[in-house]
A and B are shown apart, each in its own frame.
Chain A
Amino acid sequence: MNARPPRALPALFFVLAAALALSSCSAVQTGADVLAAQGKISEADRDSLVRTTQALRSSFDDITEEEEYYIGRAVAANILSRYKPYDNAALTRYLNVMGTAIAYASDRPETYAGYRFLALDTDEVNAMAAPGGFVFVTTGLVKLCRDEETLAAILAHEIGHVAARHGLQSIRKSRLVDAFKVIGSEAAGRLDSAELTKLTTLFEGALGDVVATIVERGYDRKFEYEADALAVAISSSTGYSPAGLTDFLAAMDQTKPAGPATGWFKTHPSAADRLARARAAIDALASPPAKLDVRTARFAEAVKGMK
C-alpha cells in the first residue's frame, strides 16, 4: 500500500497547492515578483517567466481589459471621424444615464473605463458599439423609437455586443498572434522604436478589422441573434418590457428602404428574420415586465427637441 515513491510527494504537494490557487488570477506575476523581491529567484528568471506568459497569449479572449479599451477608443475615433455627435445635452445625458443603468443588469456591467453613449447626427438609421463600451445611436434611429422600451432594447442589444466581446472577435487571428509575439518579446519597460512601429501597424490592422465589421460589413448573423437574445434578457432584467425589441424590429421591417441598403439595413440581418427569434425568446420569459406610461412620457420629453 505504501508503494508510492517518496519522490512523488513534492509533486503531489505542488498539484494540490495549484488546485488551492483556484481563485488566484495573476499568480505567476505576483508570485514571481514576491520571489524576486525576496531574492529567491533571479530577476532574469522573473523576466523569463513573465515573457513566457505574454508570448503564449493567442486569441481574442487573451486581450486584456486595458488593451480592449485602447482598441475601442481608436474604433470610436474612426466612427467619430465619419459622423458628427448630435449636440443635445439633455438627450446625451438621458442616453448615458439609461444606458449605464441597463449595462448594470448585464453580466458585464464593468469594463475598463465603463460604458458611454452618444447620439450621432445623421438621418442614417444605425447603432454601433466599439469594444470596451463606446455605444453610438444615430438620430435617424432615435426618431424611429416610440417609447423608452424601444430605445432600451437597442441599447441593450449594443451592450450585449460589448459584453460578449463580439467586436474583438472580428480581429484577424494572425494579427493578434503577431501582436502578442511583439508584446511578449519585451518583458519589462517600454517598447523600443522598431517594436513600437510593428505593434502600431498591428494595432492599426486590428482596429481596421473591427471598424470594417461594425460600420461597413456587419457582424456574422449568429452574433446579431446572440445580441438580440441578450437584449431581451438584459432589458427585462432592468425592468423594461422586452417587447421594445420586437416593436423596434417590426418598425424596421416596415421602413426598409427600396434602394440599396445603407447603415443598419446593410449591417444587420433582415428584421423579419430576427423578429421570429426575438418573439420566441420573449415567450420563454416567465413574467416579463410591462410598459409604463411614466417611462414613455419621459422618453417623449427627452426627444422633443429633436428636429
Chain B
Amino acid sequence: MNKRMRLGALVLAVAAVFVLLYAETVVVKVKTTAVRKEPKFTSAVVANLQAGAALEKTAAKDGWFQVKTKAGAAGWVHSSAIDTKKFTLTAMDKTMKTEATAGEVALASKGFNKQVEDAYKARNAAADFAAVDRMEALKALAADIEAFLKRGRLGELGGAR
C-alpha cells in the first residue's frame, strides 16, 4: 500500500514536470506518417515521421491536428496517427488507470511484437507470412490515389468528418 502511494506521488510529480517541460506534446503511434501542408491526404508532405516522434500540437480541425516537428516543420497530421489518450482530472483521481494508457507508445515494442511473431512462426509452419509480406508490399501510391479520385470525381480526401 505504501509502495502504491509512493508510486502515485511519483506519477503526479512526473506529470507536473512533464507539463512544465513538454506541454502540448503528442506522439506518433503508427509506423510512419506525414506532416502535410493542408489538412487533407492529397496535400503536399512537409515532413515524414516515424513511430514515437514527438510533436507540438497547436490546433485541431476535422480529425486533423496542426503540429510542429522538433526540426521546426509545421503542418497537419491526421489524428488517427497520433496517440490521443489523455490525462483528465477524473483519471487523475484513479492515478493507476491513467498510467495504464500513458506508457503505451514508447513501450509498444515489448508487447506482441516481431520477437513473438518469430516464435509463433516457428510453431506454426502453415501460417503463410511470406504471402502477408507480399500483401504488405502492395501499398498504393499517393499519385495513383489522387488520379483515381479525380477520374472518378470522388471526394476531397479531408479524412474524418
Q: Which residues of A contact B (CB under 8 A)?
A: 13-15, 17-35, 40-41, 45, 48-50, 52-54, 56-58, 62-67, 69-71, 73-74, 76-78, 80-81, 85, 92-93, 96-101, 104-114, 116-118, 134, 148, 179, 183, 186, 188, 190-191, 196-197, 199-200, 203-204, 206, 233, 237-240, 292, 294-295, 298
- Do residues B15 and A17 form an inter-chain contact, with CB atoms below 8 A? yes
- Do residues A27 and B112 form an inter-chain contact, with CB atoms below 8 A? no
A239 to B151, CA, bound (A): 12
Please report the number of residue pairs spanning A and B whose Cβ atoms sit closer than 8 angstroms.
315
- Do residues B152 and A292 form an inter-chain contact, with CB atoms below 8 A? yes
Interface residues on B, range: 35 or more
| Interchain CB contact (< 8 A) of B27 among A20, A26, A52, A93 | A26
- Do residues A77 and B19 form an inter-chain contact, with CB atoms below 8 A? no
- Do residues B119 and A200 form an inter-chain contact, with CB atoms below 8 A? yes
- Do residues B87 and A49 form an inter-chain contact, with CB atoms below 8 A? no
A118 to B132, CA, bound (A): 10
A114 to B87, CA, bound (A): 27
Known A-B contacts A24-B22, A96-B138; A191 and B78 likewise in contact (beta carbons under 8 Å):
no
Known A-B contacts A14-B12, A29-B105, A196-B119; A239 and B128 likewise in contact (beta carbons under 8 Å):
no
- Do residues A15 and B116 form an inter-chain contact, with CB atoms below 8 A? no
15 new A-B contacts at CB < 8 Å, known A77-B128, A196-B115, A239-B153 = A24-B87, A34-B17, A66-B31, A67-B111, A70-B112, A76-B131, A81-B126, A93-B140, A93-B144, A96-B139, A96-B140, A109-B80, A114-B139, A191-B115, A298-B152
- Provide the residues of chain A in CB contact with B97, threshold 8 Å: 56
Mark contacts of B94-108 with chain A using CB atoms, 8 A cut-off: 1 yes-contact digit, 0 otherwise: 001101111111111
- Do residues A64 and B14 form an inter-chain contact, with CB atoms below 8 A? no
| Interchain CB contact (< 8 A) of A49 among B20, B29, B99, B139 | B99
Known A-B contacts A186-B110, A200-B119; A45 and B102 likewise in contact (beta carbons under 8 Å):
no
- Provide the residues of chain B in CB contact with A26, threshold 8 Å: 27, 83, 102-106
Known A-B contacts A24-B87, A25-B86, A34-B18; A62 and B102 likewise in contact (beta carbons under 8 Å):
no
- Provide the residues of chain B in CB contact with A71, threshold 8 Å: 112
- Provide the residues of chain A in CB contact with B115, threshold 8 Å: 190-191, 196
- Provide the residues of chain A in CB contact with B10, threshold 8 Å: 41, 45, 49
A211 to B69, CA, bound (A): 39
- Do residues A77 and B15 form an inter-chain contact, with CB atoms below 8 A? no
Known A-B contacts A23-B24, A76-B135, A77-B127; A14 and B15 likewise in contact (beta carbons under 8 Å):
yes
